[in-house]
Amino acid sequence: MTYNVDEKGYYGSFGGAYIPEMLYPNVEELRQQYLKIIEEDSFQEEFNELLSDYVGRPTPLYFAKRLSEKYGAKIFLKREDLNHTGAHKVNNTIGQILLAKRLGKQKIIAETGAGQHGVATATVCALMGMECIVYMGALDMERQQPNVERMRILGTKVVPAHSGNKTLKDATNEAMRHWINHPVDTHYIIGSVVGPHPYPDMVARFQSVISEEMKAQLLEKTGGEDPDYIIACVGGGSNAAGAFYHYLDKKDVKLIAVEAAGKGVDTDESAATTALGNPGVLHGSKTLLMQTEDGQVIEPYSISAGLDYPGIGPVHAHLFESGRAHFYSATDSEAMEAGLLLSKLEGIIPAIESAHALAGLEFIEFKSDDVVVLNLSGRGDKDLGTYIKWGGY
Ligand SMILES: *Cc1c(COP(=O)(O)O)cnc(C)c1O
């Protein structure tokens, strides 16, 4: 059994490309070209040079001594929070914009919910001098004003979506419509391991630099490449996919995914897809999603904007169903406490998304010589307002 994608874009029974006829030419062009382009030496050279000189990779693997003492294991933090723009998302947007250039595209579109993916996309478009439009729900634009202004400063046009709930789903619909009308000159940058094949695999490959670096860093620091545990938070699942990627077939490495339980999985304010969801089609792929009995997508809730997504990428649906990865969910308050704890113990204020992964440390019984890598997906600067409102520090 393999846990990675097959040539049709399936992870077990999940994945594929469930798209309207009108989008077929765009997605098919990408499917035919992506592997060929990504594997070219010149692509790899440019990608790696930008990851090193622009993003600041490799990110450190930091042995968190005080956190380790607290949990009774050897805990390392993979410091994705130290990337340019403050999170792992830029690994993917750099990869996709280089791909778009090689496909001869002149324009980039994206959709964004909280604005983090929009900012990572606007950043690489400025870097490459490419025209960029980001679709964003009108309500999200009000709630995330600083990110809207960041994108504008970077030269991106932010277009409000006024339909539906005026949130992520509506922005996605607008972006799809734009792409259908501009198939030749435009590339659509999706921000997580979601969407129709080949997006989940493409994004996972760009993020796989995380586990590639981990292997070398662990070898140097512990004498072996394989940790006992890898822990990551899951919204769509891109930082987790990158952290798990090179370990998927190493059964001794336990893969731990932490979703956002919101106010609790027994309330109707949650985003814990594996606990509450079932199979269906979301954003072009077959996966697990939170839906009503007649298939309406349920609006998710989490204190963390980046985990507030009603599904998970098909790779994670498969890892869950096959039992290869263990899924937990952390509530808002468990995550906030874990974020404040890391701040006090290690002098690192994490993104609230990453704080959910930290809350996962509470759920596991470690042995004292266990080596644990926790993927610290982002930094907490963007979340200062939420920390202040929460209080308790
Ligand atoms: C967007 C985001 C996430 C969630 O996205 P994934 O695709 O699940 O990784 C997690 N952490 C941070 C810091 C983010 O910005």
Same fold, 12-50+89-203 and 56-87+208-390: yes
Of the candidates 98, 61, 54, 95, the one whose C-alpha atom is nearest the C-alpha of residue 81 is 61
Give start and end residues of each alpha helix (H) in the chain: 24-39, 41-50, 65-71, 89-102, 116-128, 138-143, 145-153, 168-181, 199-207, 209-222, 238-244, 273-276, 314-322, 332-346, 352-359, 384-390
In this structure, what token pair is assigned to residue 148? 């809207």
**What value does the mean pLDDT take over residues 345-367?**
98
pLDDT at 283 over 90: yes
CATH classification of 56-87+208-390, choosing from 3.90.1570.10, 3.40.50.1100, 3.40.50.450, 3.40.50.1820?
3.40.50.1100
Rounded to whole angstroms, the Cα distance separating 327 from 307 reads 14
Transcribe 33-84 into DSSP letters: HHHHHHHSHHHHHHHHHHIIIII-PSPPEEE-HHHHHHHTSEEEEEEGGGST
Token pair 């990408």: residue: 30
Ligand 1 atom closest to the CA of 239, numbered from 1: 9
Mutate to test the pocket of ligand 1, among 234, 238, 258 (most ligand atoms within 8 A of CB): 238
pLDDT tier at 2, thresholds 50, 70, 90: confident
Nearest CA to ligand 1 atom 5: 235
What is the Å distance from ligand 1's center to 238 Cα?
7
Candidate of 377, 382, 386 to mutate for ligand 1, largest count of ligand atoms within 8 Å of Cβ: 377
Q: Where are the domains of the chain?
A: 12-50+89-203, 56-87+208-390
pLDDT in tens, 127-186: 999 999 999 999 999 989 999 999 999 999 999 999 988 988 889 999 999 999 998 999
Residue 290 confidence class, pLDDT cut points 50, 70, 90: very high
| pLDDT bracket for residue 331 (50, 70, 90) | very high
* Cα(79) to centroid(ligand 1), Å: 13
378-390 tens-digit pLDDT: 999 999 999 999 9
pLDDT of residue 14: 98
**What pLDDT score was predicted for residue 228?**
98
pLDDT at 165: 85
pLDDT digits (tens, 9 = 90+) for 71-127: 999 999 999 999 999 999 999 999 999 999 999 999 999 999 999 999 999 999 999
The mean of the pLDDT values for the chain is 97
Active-site annotation, residues: 89, 111, 377
Ligand 1 atom closest to the Cα of residue 354 is: 11
pLDDT of residue 169: 87
Ligand 1 pocket test, pick from 88, 90, 316 with the greatest ligand atom count within 8 Å of Cβ, gives 88
Distance 57 CA to ligand 1 centre (A): 18
Which residue has a Cα nearest atom 13 of ligand 1? 378
Q: How far is the CA of 199 from the centre of ligand 1 (A)?
A: 16
Query: Cβ–Cβ contacts within 10 Å for residue 136, how many?
Result: 30
Per-residue confidence (pLDDT) for residue 340, from 0 to 100: 98
Q: Which residues line ligand 1 at a C-beta cut-off of 6 Å?
A: 87, 89, 116, 192, 233-239, 306-307, 351, 353-354, 377-378
What pLDDT sits at residue 162? Answer: 96
Q: For the domain 12-50+89-203, what is the CATH code? A: 3.40.50.1100
